[in-house]
Structure 1
Amino acid sequence: MTMQAILDGTAAFLNHLGLAEEPFGVYYADTKPDNAYGPKTGTPISRELEDRRELDMQEVMKTFSCVMGNVWLARKKKGAAFISTEEYGCPGGVYYCSMMKPHLRFIEHYVSTGFPGTPLHGERYMPSPDAMRAFMEKVNPRKAPAKYCIFKPLSQFTDGAEPEFVIFFARPEVLTGLFTQTIFATGDMDCVMSPFGAGCTNMIGWPLYYQEQGLEKAVLGGFDPSARKFMKTDELTFTVPFSLYSKMLAALPESMFTHETDWSGVRKKVARSVKAWGEEE
C-alpha cells in the first residue's frame, strides 16, 4: 500500500470504528519536526557513569519528562513528540524507546521496592529489583537507527516516510473493533499481546521486541499507573507494526465492518460512549 492508500484506508477504518482521533505513527530520524514536544537536554547518563558512582540521579530527575506526557501534548495539539539520547527526560523511557543501552540499575529499584533505608520506597509495580531486572533484560530494545524517536499523527507522514508502528488511543468498545480486525487480518489467535511495561514500553518497547523476533504482534497497553495521568479516562493504547496495519486495512472489505454482524450493536455503544464523554464533534 502507498502511504496515500494507508491514509484513505485509515479514514474509512476510523469511520467504521467510530473513533474521531487519528492514530499516531512512530519512526526514527536524525531530524525532528518543527515545534515537536519533548524533553530538555539533561545531564549525561549511562550505566558506565552509574557503575562509577558518578551519576547524580537528583540532577537527572531535574529534567524529568515522561514520553507519555509529551505524546499527550502532541495529541492535544495535533503535533509531534520526540525523545533522544541527550533529550531523554525519563531514565526508563530512554531505554524503552531504544535510545540508550544498557538500562540504568536505578530503574530496577525505582519501579520495584526502592532503596532500603532511603526515602525512595519504589513504585511497587514489580515485586523486587531482580524481577524488574529480568523484565528490562527481556525487553532489550535494539539500538536506535537514528538520533530521534518521533511520534506524530499518521496524516503527517506526507513526505514519503513510513512509520514503523501505528498507535491507537481508544476505549474498550473501539478496542473491540481493533482487536477483532487484527485477528481477522492474520488468523492468529495470539496476535494481540499485553505484557507488563511502562506506558511507552507497550507503545514502542514491546512492539520492537516482537519485531526483532520476526513476529507480527499488536500490543495492548496503557496499564501503567504512572502513565494514566496522560491518558483519557478508560482509554488504552493499541500498537500494531506498520506491516500488520496494512493487512488490517486491506482486509476491511471482507471484515465484520462491511457485513451484517454484531458490530452494528457495538457501534451503537461506541456512539453512546462518545456522547457520555462529551466528545461529539
Structure 2
Amino acid sequence: MTMKSVLEETHTFLGHLGLNEEPFGVYYDDAKPENAFGPKPGIPISRELEDQGNIDLQEMFKCFSCVIGNIWLARKKRRAAFISTEEYGCPGGVFYCSMMKPNLRFIEHYVTTGFDGTPVHGERYLPSPEAMRTFLAKVDPRKAPAKYCIFKPLSLFADNEEPEFVIFFARPEVLTGLFIQTTFTTGDVDCVASPFGAGCTNIIAWPLYYKEQGIEKAVLGGFDPSARKYLKTDELTFTVPWSLYKKMLAALPESMFNVDGEWTSVRKKVTRSAKAWGEDS
C-alpha cells in the first residue's frame, strides 16, 4: 500500500466509524518538523546525574511539558508534536518515548507513594516504588533510532515517510468499531491490550514492546489520570502498529461495516454522540 492509498482507505474507514478526526502517526527522525509543538530545552538529566545528586528537580520541572498535552495542541492545529533528549519536558515521557535510558529513580516514587519525610505524597497510581520498578523493567523501550520522536496527522506524511504506529482518539462507540475491525482482521481474540501506563506509554512504549517481540497488537489507553486533561471527555486512545493497520484497511470490504448487521445501530449512536458533543459539523 502506498501512503496515498492508505490515506484514501483511511478516509473510507473514518466514514464507516463516524469519526471526524484523522488518526496520528508516530515515527522517529533526525529532523524536527516546522511549527511543531514540543517542550523547551531542559537542564541535563540522567540516572548518573541523579545518583550524583546533580539534578535540580525544581529547575527540571520549570520546563515541564506533557507528551499528550503537546499532541493535544497538534490535534487542534493539525500540526506535529515532538519530544527529544534535550527537549524532554517530562522525566517519564522522555523514558517512555525511548529518548533516555535508564529512567530516573524519581518517577518510581512520584508515580507511587512519594518520598518519605517530604510533602510529596505521590500520585498513588501503583502501590509502591517496587511495583513501579517492575513495570518500568518490563516496558523497557528500545533506544531511539533518531533524535526526535514525532507525532503528526497521517495526512501530513510524505510519500517517502511511514509511521511505526497509528493512533486514534475516540469515544466508546467508535472504539467498538476499531476493536472489532482489529479482531476481524487478525482472528485473534487477544489482539487488543490495555496495560498500565502513562498516557504516552500506551501510545508508544507498549506498542514498541509488542513490536519488539514480533507481535501485532493494538493498545487501548488513555486511563492515566494525569493525562485526562489533554483528552476529550469520554475519549480514549487506540494505537495500532503500521503493519496491522494496513491489513485492517485491506479487510474493510469484507468487514461488518459492509453488511446489514449490528453496526448500523451502533453507527446511529456514534452520530448521536457527535451531535451531543457539538462535533457533527
The interval holding the TM-score normalised by the smaller chain is: over 0.9
The answer on 1:272 being equivalent to 2:253 is: no
C-alpha distance in 1 between matches for 2:7 and 2:24: 12
The answer on 1:182 being equivalent to 2:194 is: no
**Aligned-partner SS, 1:136:** helix
Conserved? CA contact 2:3–2:159, under 8 Å:
no
C-alpha distance in 2 between matches for 1:210 and 1:52: 34
User: 1:41-190 maps to which residues of 2 (within 5 A)?
Assistant: 41-190=41-190
Cα deviations across residues 57-112 of structure 1 (Å, max 9, x unaligned)?
Answer: 11111100000000000000000000000000000000000000000000000000
TM-score, with structure 2 as normaliser: 0.99
C-alpha distance in 2 between matches for 1:280 and 1:3: 27
Q: Give the paired residue count.
A: 281
Cα deviations across residues 145-175 of structure 1 (Å, max 9, x unaligned)?
Answer: 0000000000001241000000000000000
Cα deviations across residues 112-159 of structure 1 (Å, max 9, x unaligned)?
Answer: 000011011100001000000110111000000000000000000124
**1:18 alignment counterpart:** 18
1:34 maps to a residue whose letter is E
| Gap regions ≥5 residues in structure 1 | none
**Aligned-partner SS, 1:225:** coil
**2:253 alignment counterpart:** 253
- Runs of 4+ aligned structure 1 residues displaced above 3 Å come to none
TM-score, with structure 1 as normaliser: 0.99
Cα deviations across residues 199-256 of structure 1 (Å, max 9, x unaligned)?
Answer: 0000101000000111000000000000000000000000000000000000000000
C-alpha distance in 2 between matches for 1:203 and 1:162: 16
1:221 maps to a residue whose letter is G
C-alpha distance in 2 between matches for 1:260 and 1:244: 25
User: 1:196-215 maps to which residues of 2 (within 5 A)?
Assistant: 196-215=196-215
Conserved? CA contact 2:2–2:159, under 8 Å:
no
C-alpha distance in 1 between matches for 2:180 and 2:237: 15
Larger deviation: 31-40 or 157-166?
157-166
C-alpha distance in 1 between matches for 2:193 and 2:126: 19
1:39 maps to a residue whose letter is P
**Aligned-partner SS, 1:226:** coil
**CA drift at 1:280:** 1.2
